[in-house]
A and B are shown apart, each in its own frame.
Chain A
Amino acid sequence: MNVNRRGFIKLTAAGLAASGMGALGFGHVGEALASSVRAFKLAAAKETRNTCTYCSVACGILIYSMGDRAKNAHSNIIHIEGDPDHPVNRGTLCPKGSALLDIVHAPTRLTAPRYRAAGAGEFKEVSWDFALDRIARLMKDDRDKNFIAKNKEGVTVNRWTSVGMLAASASSSETAFLTWKVARSLGMVVFDNQARV
């Protein structure tokens, strides 16, 4: 979008000076009006098209963030509203969608990997390498011990039933496909998502 929605309002005000009012000899009034329109906060924000994360109506949303997406700038989401062009929601949002900003900035958003050792009374922050190395170790040890290559009849079955996985029905299809590949290549069959709940 070359001109975002909020910018359009300001352009319209400026256009007033050049057109209707100007033609009547009140050009300077139009100019004064245009210059007195304070820039909306959102006018400086980046607009990003997204869809609501909750239900399957999949309402279109516009996310406004500060920061110009330069490598050294950290974008901050400041506002989310319904996408008026979206053919289903046409700009409307429900009580959940209207509050999306609060879930993005929830105080209980997780910010670092945490680990709770056997019998421990609390989580401690750990590095990603620690967490993923340990998870891979635990998975491999269990898989090597419990993997079923052939059943009693000698049929190749290549399944692993002692470690299971639940995938997320709010994750993207791209995430889902990669997850499928990884889980099945390990022989996982205890594998599901929220389709039933």
Chain B
Amino acid sequence: MTNTWQDIKNANVVIVMGGNAAEAHPCGFKWVIEAKIENGAKLVVVDPRFTRTASVADLYAPIRPGTDIAFLSGLIRYLLEKDKIQHDYVRAFTNAGLIAKEEFGFQDGLFTGYNEETHSYDKSSWDYELDDQGFAKVDDTWQHPRCVINLLRKHVDRYTPEMVSRITGTPQDKFLQVCELLATTSEPDKALTSLFALGWTQHSIGAQNIRTMAMVQLLLGNIGVAGGGMNALRGHSNIQGLTDIGLLSNQMPGYMTLPSDKEATFNDYMKTRQFTPLRPGQISYWQNYRKFFVSFQKSIYGKAASAENNWAYDWLPKLDLPMYDIIRAFEMMNKGEINGYICQGFNPLQAFPDRGKIRRGLRKLKFLVTMDPLDTETSRFWEDFGPQNPSDAAAIQTEVFQLPTNCFAEENGSLVNSARWLQWHWKAAEPPGQARSDIWIMAGIFRRLKELYQKEGGAFSDALMNLSWNYADPASPDPEELAKEMNGRTLADITDPTTGAATLKAGQLLDSFAQLKDDGTTVSGCWIFTGCFTEKGNQMARRETTDPRDQGIAPGWAWAWPANRRILYNRASADLAGKAWNPKKPIIEWNGERWVGIDVPDMPPTAAPSAGVGPFIMNAEGLGRLFARATMAEGPFPEHYEPLESPAENVLHPKVRSNPAARVFADDRESFGAASDFPYVATTYRLTEHFHYWTKHALINAILQPEEFVEIGEELAKEKGIAQADWVKVSSKRGDVVCKAYVTKRIKPLMVDGKPTHVIGCPIHWGFTGQARKGYGANTLTPSVGDANTQTPEFKAFLVNVAKSNGPEV
């Protein structure tokens, strides 16, 4: 989230598209109701289903799963055509006026540079034209035919209301009503907030779904302001934290990235991470990358990382592929290329697409380790549970370790919420029986491996041997020690440049990432967290409820990264002179000497507005990007591509139907079904009574929603002779689910390109352990393909058939 949960109350219009906050984030959604009641806000919901969020909306528009880019591109076209954009904001704070390279182009569904064999792009033309000094050329009058705003205008011109309706199935009048309402927030003092979740990410074009809305928000001048922003309502309690700390194949803490094979030396690595400003006077904050990197290497390798060995650069693993994501991991497992798998609080047999493939992969493992408070399906994959998990245990040679861990109530530690708040929590009781913390288990494995390498030697072990491990109890590091390690310390006195007085003594905890150095005299395990645990104590444990002007900032409650800043890009909440666009809800303003207000400025505090420092300080041009340069896999502008399994042709460019940059493994492509056999569009989702595959272990939740079902619209049910609560068999090319039918008015057929299209809803929560009834799991049906940038699986749009059934065969 760019903003906070409470800040939603400042919105004038709220759009929930790609999520269902009323059911998935109920206590956060309360702030939408607050906005409606206290601020007269209007709520717009665009969703294939009439959800509980839709039930309290002022305006609901149905949409076919997987067509959000067409809808939003039509919205952009509307805003540009009706001139409903916040001109001063767009001109000063976005790259609308920057000029793209002459070679850049788009034709018949493809951008320039496509390679059909590799399904990828040479992106060299996706950039700005540079002047002699290396700065991007700009035309602030927007007359140049190749300035971004004109290229965008041309790009979205095809998305007329007729075309949008043809692709999405949204009736034209509904679409236009949404456009009209959202356009009202182009007024400088009005804000629209976008709330989204997996409904946007879990598509083969997921990242571009979000980009398209971010572009809308830039055009309307709604990023950085109170009641505005792009607000990803994240799922798990610390999904934000694990992303921040880089527990992803290609990531390092603080959004640094692992090196690739092409970056043989530290110098090669740093070359692509220079982040030279692309416009004069811009901050381009990633210029400090080297400081973050060196401080990180010093943190984890201590004295063993030095200038002489390039800060132990070689000890980091290098990647020969963009990433070893989970879809790839199970592809490798199926090919016998992975022998061991460790699942720490993760249940892939339920969570990842094409369950049959997941099960076949697990069977090929030599060993599987699970660490979990609960008895997960993954840890029991080898056991026969009847039709929901048929298995011949004797034929499976996998050694399985099921390790019991504590739960949230039995530990100290911090979690990062959706609004980037690091909140400390305290232990209330001991875990049951012999259950232990994940920290204790990881330390146990590490110490044993180190001992084995000391005793026996073996493969390269310098990184393992020199890993910093300065904990009072090496077998059980304390969470506070680890939090301080992430915050970081100085190894030498830090002096005030003006007075010369020591502000921090050697060994003391750092206050801010601005203190980090690239000479090895500072250490920090996660630079964006610096400031969370200082000499003043654990800032994450703060519980001060004061909220200036009741504007939803609460700056003394816990601590937010970066630098306790609650609203990202908040410089953009003020106009070119530094006055708030919305005088009733200012965040920071220029007082003639510095930026002051209720939040930590996202700007050097003394950078005068006249200096023209752009509010998007992490971007090299300082501007919000309507044109993404080479950062995306499938293009610098979003384009509508059909899901990999779709009932419709791509009417914009029939030859390029789906995402041309999608990575699809050959066996997965074989398992995609066609609309002739699987005529209905299916989408997965969550119920308000359940959290993933956990709450079926909790009695109350198991009683509330005891049994696997699918939602089918009344028209389709009638056509198929399916009555309320009948058994049905739902099939995709990958497998069948036998469950109950819930016949509903909430899903209605959509007219897509003149053809009625039915949508079937598949809640995901059932498996074969816990207290609810046994279920097959919706991932039995879903295809193994991900977003081209992130490899997030396409759970939200695929094809199935449905028929009446006699129930599971026992």
Which residues in A have some Cβ–Cβ distance to B below 8 Å? 46, 48-60, 63, 65, 67, 74-77, 80, 82, 85-89, 92-100, 102-104, 106-123, 128, 131-140, 142-144, 146-147, 149, 151, 153, 155-182, 184-197
Contacts and interface: CB of A to CB of B under 8 A. Distances in A.
A160 B324 CA distance: 11
B459 A147 contact: yes
A173 to B, nearest CB: 4
B448 interface: yes
B14 to A, nearest CB: 16
B444 A128 contact: yes
Interface in B34-66: none
Most buried by A among B415, B463, B701: B415
A93 B241 CA distance: 22
A136 B448 contact: yes
B238 A169 contact: yes
Contacts of B652: none
Contacts of A195: 239, 242-243, 248
A112 B443 contact: no
B247 A57 contact: no
Contacts of A108: 374-375, 697, 769-771
B683 to A, nearest CB: 15
A59 B772 CA distance: 25
Nearest to A57: B28
Contacts, number: 481
B155 interface: no
Contacts of A67: 429
Contact of B792 (A104, A160, A197): A197
Contact of A169 (B239, B428, B458): B239
A139 B332 CA distance: 18
Contacts of B529: 173
Contact of B786 (A80, A186, A196): A196
B793 interface: yes
Contacts of A94: 26-27, 688
Interface string B176-215: 0000000000000000000000100110000000000000
B452 to A, nearest CB: 5
Interface residues of B, number: 166
Most buried by B among A51, A82, A176: A176
Contacts of A74: 429-430
B249 interface: yes
A57 B486 CA distance: 23
B505 interface: no
B557 A87 contact: yes
Given A48-B427, A108-B771, A115 B401 contact: yes
A99 B317 contact: no
B417 A56 contact: yes
Nearest to B408: A53
Contacts of B332: 161, 190
Given A74-B429, A88-B4, A118-B398, 20 more contacts: A50-B408, A51-B415, A57-B5, A87-B552, A88-B6, A92-B27, A99-B698, A103-B695, A110-B403, A110-B433, A114-B401, A116-B398, A116-B402, A160-B317, A163-B339, A164-B342, A172-B411, A173-B413, A176-B242, A179-B344
Interface in B664-713: 688-691, 694-695, 697-701, 704
Interface of A is mostly: mixed
Contacts of B242: 167-169, 171, 173, 176, 193-195
Most buried by A among B351, B448, B483, B690: B448
Contacts of B458: 140, 143-144
A23 B199 CA distance: 63
29 contacts: A50-B409, A51-B237, A52-B408, A55-B237, A74-B429, A95-B688, A109-B697, A119-B395, A119-B397, A121-B393, A140-B452, A159-B317, A162-B338, A163-B339, A166-B346, A167-B242, A170-B238, A172-B414, A172-B425, A173-B244, A174-B486, A175-B438, A177-B485, A177-B526, A190-B324, A191-B324, A196-B791, A197-B351, A197-B352
Nearest to B779: A197
Most buried by B among A74, A86, A92, A197: A197
A170 B689 contact: no
Contacts of A51: 237, 408, 415, 417, 423, 425
Most buried by A among B407, B428, B453, B695: B428
B554 interface: yes
A162 B27 contact: no
Contacts of B248: 191-193, 195
Given A65-B429, A119-B395, A159-B317, A55 B404 contact: no
B135 interface: no
